[in-house]
Structure 1
Amino acid sequence: MNPIERALGILLLLTGGKLVTATTLAERFEVSLRTIYRDIDRLLALGVPVDAERGAEGGYRLPRDYMQPPVALTRNETAALLTALATVRGIRTIPLMDDLQAAERKLIATLPKAVLTLLGQAERVIGVEPVPIDIFHAETKAKTTDAWQAALDGFMLGLLDNCRVRFDHHNPSRTAPRAHDVEPCGILYDRNLWYLAGRSVETDEMKLYRADRVRNIEVSGLRFQPDPSFDIKHLLGGAWLSQAMRRWEKEGPIAQIRVTAEQSKRLAQDWYYRHVIFTPAPDGNVMISIPNAEAINLFPLIRWLGAGAELIEPAHLRKALAAELSEMARVHRDPAL
């Protein structure tokens, strides 16, 4: 048995956290203790985290989560995984990016020569069209930053270890960031943004936090029991946004716009506004209630809806909206402009 084969055998014996003595290893591979010591030194030099315990009952072990059991994949299964990885790379930021790239390199190393060239450069043959910028809803835009990656990685590590995470969340509607202590439950990708789903320790509520607004994340030593009833699928289809809107309605001012029945049908198809409250009126119109009363969001919406839409609340914005619409009307009436 050559040193490489013996090193692999040692790794497999040490996997799972079980303590194995040097004498046991020497007998298993029919070599001297000095050879085993050299093998262990070689593994340490390669960065393998072998723990050594001295004494009569000492020995060597690997952390329990260092190696997963060997998995045999067919060529097509390997190709399917590499295709999925290439697809995921179309997302700007993903959890545990460095670990994903390391896993991809290991998969590529197992490929037969016939497909190595093709799938080893999967990005040349697999294209992903990123979600286009939504200029109508400006709040969906975010730049990729190191802090964003750190938030995803830290949250995922807390999720894997069943440990709480602490972080500061920067909500643009507040003047200062708020500290949060959260039990991670899952992560959600929606319209080019990552959301962290977790149970707030303070309020005992399930909340979603935009990952690009999270700073100073750290995994605490406080463990928790995962909720067996949690399923990220319950937040898909915009369900998370609908739940968030109901919470926002309790936290801030609400805008009201009277629209026609036809306009309400059109608005109900929008990914964002279909989750606001639609209340039919006796005259056949519909009152929509939006948990956002800022002009920068309301004015473009009313212009898009067109004639028949009327801003009811906040009343103090009606004059400014009227002035803006009057100026637009003046420009369009003047053939010289």
Structure 2
Amino acid sequence: MNPIERALGILLMLTGGKLVSATSLAERFQVSHRTIYRDIDRLIALGVPVDAERGAEGGYRLASGYIQPPVALTRNETAALLAAMALVRSSRTVPLAGDLASAEKKLLASLPKSVHGLLKEADRIVGIEPIPPDIFHSGTKAEPTEDWQTALDGFMAGILDSKRVRFDHVNPARRTVKAHDVEPYGVMFDRDLWYLAGRCVDTDLLKVYRADRVRNLEISGLFFRPDRKFSIQNLLGGAWLSQAMRRWEQEEEIAEILITPAQAKKLSADWYYRHAVFTPAKDGRILVSIPSTDRARILPLVRWLGPGTELIGPEALRQELADELQAMAALYAPGSPLEKSA
């Protein structure tokens, strides 16, 4: 029996879930203990999850769930899964992308050869329109990077293994990088971006992190007990953003803008600003408090809202906006270069 045949035989013997001793394996294949040890090492090097237990009653067995029973799918069921995979791939970055590719190959292998050619060209028959960039809200567009994929894959691996993850989180607004130790709970996709949800160990708070802002993620050796009450569904519909804004209000400077009730109705329909604080003012207008003083975020918002909008603070942004509006007014005034060119 050659080493490949023996390795396959060992693999089959370890699938029962019970511990199999090195002595039993050596006797079964009529080789030495040292040869069995080398065979086990070879299987582990190939990625086979062999669990080993030492002691008089120890032995080897395959990790639970490594070999799954075959699943019989109809042609339509498999095609539906392939179409769903095309939809997921359209997000540019997906969790465990390498595993998704191998799963797709296995699905194809389960189908009759007569449809292989068609399904291998799924891009020709399934079209997914990409999400256009949101030019109004700054910072909502990001190009996939190796760090982004590593963060997403590592976070998913932490969820599956119930292990903490450590990473650095980049905050572009503050221009800071902060280390985080997190118990990973779930991931979600929103407006062409992936978000990572988990319990921050330092603050004991459920936080959501943009995957493209995570760097140097690694899985720690610390296990945690998953929160069975957690569901990523509870963070959808912008619930995570509303919770984050309440926290940002305690950490960031606040921009205040007075708007009309009609403008408030318009703004409350926006996916982002509807989670800001809207407070009735004495003159009948509405005071909107936004936990950010980033000029690239606040000034475009005021311009978009238009007449009836007053930027109350911060004073530096108010003055910058006043100077800008005066320059624009001069450009449109009678006798201006704009009027002459017309």
TM range (shorter): 0.7 to 0.9
Report if aligned partners of 1:280, 1:287 keep a CA contact under 8 Å in 2.
yes
**Aligned residue number for residue 153 of structure 1:** 153
Alpha-carbon distance change, 45 to 311 in structure 1, aligned in 2, over 3 angstroms: closer
Q: Secondary structure at the match of 1:15?
A: helix
1: CA distance, partners of 2:311 / 2:237: 29
**Aligned residue number for residue 48 of structure 2:** 49
Q: Report the AA paired with residue 132 of structure 2.
A: P
The one-character-per-residue Cα deviations of 1:212-254 (angstroms, maximum 9, x if unpaired) are 1111111111111111110101110111111111111000111
The one-character-per-residue Cα deviations of 1:250-281 (angstroms, maximum 9, x if unpaired) are 00111110011111111111111111111122
The one-character-per-residue Cα deviations of 1:20-43 (angstroms, maximum 9, x if unpaired) are 46897899xxx9757xx99x79x9
Correspondence 1:297-312 to 2 at 5 A: 297-312=297-312
1:87, distance to aligned residue in structure 2 (A) = 1.1
**Aligned residue number for residue 89 of structure 1:** 89
Q: Secondary structure at the match of 1:136?
A: coil
2: CA distance, partners of 1:179 / 1:32: 51
Q: Secondary structure at the match of 2:187?
A: strand
1:17, distance to aligned residue in structure 2 (A) = 4.5
2: CA distance, partners of 1:97 / 1:317: 43
Report if aligned partners of 1:255, 1:291 keep a CA contact under 8 Å in 2.
yes
Report if aligned partners of 1:263, 1:305 keep a CA contact under 8 Å in 2.
yes
Q: Secondary structure at the match of 1:208?
A: strand
**Aligned residue number for residue 169 of structure 2:** 169
**Structure 1: segments with no counterpart, 5+ residues:** none
**Aligned residue number for residue 314 of structure 2:** 314
1: CA distance, partners of 2:44 / 2:134: 50
Q: Secondary structure at the match of 1:170?
A: strand
CA RMSD of aligned residues (A): 3.0
Alpha-carbon distance change, 6 to 78 in structure 1, aligned in 2, over 3 angstroms: farther
Alignment coverage as a number of residue pairs? 328
**Aligned residue number for residue 211 of structure 1:** 211
**Aligned residue number for residue 240 of structure 1:** 240
2: CA distance, partners of 1:52 / 1:224: 20
2: CA distance, partners of 1:225 / 1:6: 39
TM-score, normalisation: structure 1 = 0.87
Q: Secondary structure at the match of 1:322?
A: helix
**Structure 2: segments with no counterpart, 5+ residues:** none
Q: Secondary structure at the match of 2:139?
A: helix
The one-character-per-residue Cα deviations of 1:61-103 (angstroms, maximum 9, x if unpaired) are 3333432333222222212211111111101111111111011
Alpha-carbon distance change, 316 to 55 in structure 1, aligned in 2, over 3 angstroms: closer
**Aligned residue number for residue 76 of structure 2:** 76
**Aligned residue number for residue 261 of structure 1:** 261
**Aligned residue number for residue 101 of structure 1:** 101
Give the fraction of aligned pairs with identical amino acids, expressed as a percent: 60
Correspondence 1:33-48 to 2 at 5 A: 33=30, 44=43, 47=46
Report if aligned partners of 1:171, 1:213 keep a CA contact under 8 Å in 2.
yes
**Aligned residue number for residue 336 of structure 1:** 340
Report if aligned partners of 1:16, 1:63 keep a CA contact under 8 Å in 2.
no
Q: Secondary structure at the match of 1:138?
A: coil
Report if aligned partners of 2:134, 2:141 keep a CA contact under 8 Å in 1.
yes
